[in-house]
Amino acid sequence: MSENDDAGDSRDGGNEHSDTGTNAGADELTHTTAEGDVQMVDVGDKPDSERRAVAAGEIRLRRSTIEAIREDEVGKGDVLATARIGAIQAVKHTWETIPMCHQIPITNVDTDFSLGDDRVELRVAVETTGKTGCEMEALEGVTTGLNVVWDMVKAVEKDDDGQYPDTGIDNVRVLQKAKHRT
């Protein structure tokens, strides 16, 4: 996929691009009517394109928790396998949780976990062929996958007061967004 310009993509959260590649002004937002009412954008006339988005994020954990994940010694089960399922499920259901997202045909989801000394990084790549991008699906996969990691390890991450002083989800972002007209 060669084009990184999603001019007119309906799900850029108001960051539409004009023909000059600049961000659209507030008076050009496509998710609101002239009266300020929220609306879903009609993408019916847009041509189908092959689209791909990659998002990433990380969860900070105690070093002992990372070691338990590595050794598959977490009481709830295989943390990364469970998080992978959660991430994929979230990608497929993004349209149900993000109000202005269209339901799109997901053609591929790839998840990649990396274990550091004190963190788990997750990258989610999503592919589709359709009329609108898939970056929200990739972001949804990352955030849910990391939330599943947290859920799986929360018993060992809590301190004596039942709090999570060393645990946090950080740096969630879109790394790549591409499209290629079919």
Which residues are known catalytic residues?
151
Q: Which of 108, 115, 121 is nearest to 55 (CA)?
A: 121
Give the angle subtended at the CA of 1 by the CAs of 113 and 126, to the nearest 5°. 35
Q: How many Å is the maximal CA-CA distance in the chain?
A: 57
Task: Name the amino acid, one letter, at 17.
Answer: H
Alpha-carbon distance of 164 to 124, in angstroms, equals 25
Tokens representing 89? 């499920």
Q: Assess contact for 98 and 168: CB atoms under 8 A.
A: no
Element (H, E) at 178: strand 168-181
E strand intervals along 3-105: 49-60
Give the angle subtended at the CA of 65 by the CAs of 59 and 70, to the nearest 5°. 95
Overall residue count recorded for the chain in this entry? 182
